[in-house]
Amino acid sequence: MLVAELLRRKSRWFKSAWIELFERRNLAKAAVVHFTSQLEKDEATKLGLNFNATCVVPNGIEEEEICDESDKRDLPPGFPLQHQRYLLFIGRINWKKGLDRLICALPFVADCHLVIMGNDEEQYQPTLVALARQKGVRERISFIGPIYGSDKRTILAHAAALILPSYSENFGNVVLESMAAGCPVVVTPEVGAAVLVLETGAGVVLDGSPEKLGRGIADLIADSERSRTMGQRGRDAVAANYTWEAIARRMETVYQMALEEHVDADQKARPEAHE
């Protein structure tokens, strides 16, 4: 996502030059620019980019990824927490994902383990391990690498909550994956899918400061009925509105409108066509 604050913090000159040389012109000439969230659109607008027209249509998910309680299988062999309650993070192990926020929040969440599932291509894990030791929670965190397919869905279905505490996230596909598995979701306001979480009632949006994040997570997982209801709402919302078939219908409408506007503009530019 093109976020002004992140451009200042990371690769500022390269990204700014790239925007000026290529993307500004491309975006200005596009019939419609597609954003996956209102947050993504707002951040792009802050950069002073010009658009002829825009649409906000979220990402989708495969229908077969939706599972209900009857589909819940046993956790895969070798999973470190067969009989313990756990929080789950899924994604790249990267500074932008806000894992430092989550580790600092863990002391405020009693009797719950944190499972971090994802690739560490930038060798950021040692930094997080050192932070966890500093905060006294190293023994409550497991790094398990990436897991895919049905095993990933099963791990999601058993989790107390999926936590995505990113500093910036244009959408956050794992939010839909969690909702499809009936897992309540906790995100920070900087996640594009935060609006979806609120609108569907599939989870909560929490401030990223350690105490507020930690206490909010603790309150959620302490109320099993609330968690179960959020999980069911998320699953129902995905089935109704966020399968790729449903998203494709929305994008088809956008393309059709863009085509009609192009034809109208072309006809106005050639008055002889009406004679």
Query: 167 and 141 in one domain?
Result: yes
What span, in angstroms and rounded, lies between the C-alpha atoms of 237 and 163?
Answer: 19
Q: For 29, left (φ over 0), alpha (ψ -120 to 50), or beta?
A: alpha
| CATH code of 214's domain | 3.40.50.2000
In sequence order, what are the residues at sequence separation of 6 or more whose Cβ sits closer than 8 angstroms to the Cβ of residue 54? 32, 33, 34, 35, 41
Query: 133 and 196 in one domain?
Result: yes
Q: In this predicted structure, what is the pLDDT of residue 270?
A: 60
| Angle value at C-alpha 191, between 187 and 196, nearest 5 degrees | 75
Q: In this predicted structure, what is the pLDDT of residue 260?
A: 83
Last residue of a domain, one of 27, 42, 57: 57
pTM: 0.86
Burial of 111 (0-12, 13-18, 19+ CB in 10 A): exposed
98-122 confidence digits (pLDDT tens): 999 999 999 999 989 999 999 999 9
The stretch 138-158 carries a mean pLDDT of 95
The answer to whether residue 17 scores a pLDDT higher than 50 is no
Query: 235 and 142 in one domain?
Result: yes
Q: 160 lies in a domain?
A: yes
What span, in angstroms and rounded, lies between the C-alpha atoms of 73 and 134?
Answer: 36
What is the domain count for the chain?
2
208-217 confidence digits (pLDDT tens): 999 999 999 9
Last residue of a domain, one of 57, 80, 104: 57
Query: 137 and 43 in one domain?
Result: no
- Dihedrals phi, psi of 170, to nearest 5 degrees: -60, -35
Q: 275 lies in a domain?
A: no
Domain that holds residue 192: 63-241
With residue 187 as reference, give the H or E element that holds it. Answer: strand 185-187
Q: In this predicted structure, what is the pLDDT of residue 27?
A: 74
The answer to whether residue 166 scores a pLDDT higher than 80 is yes
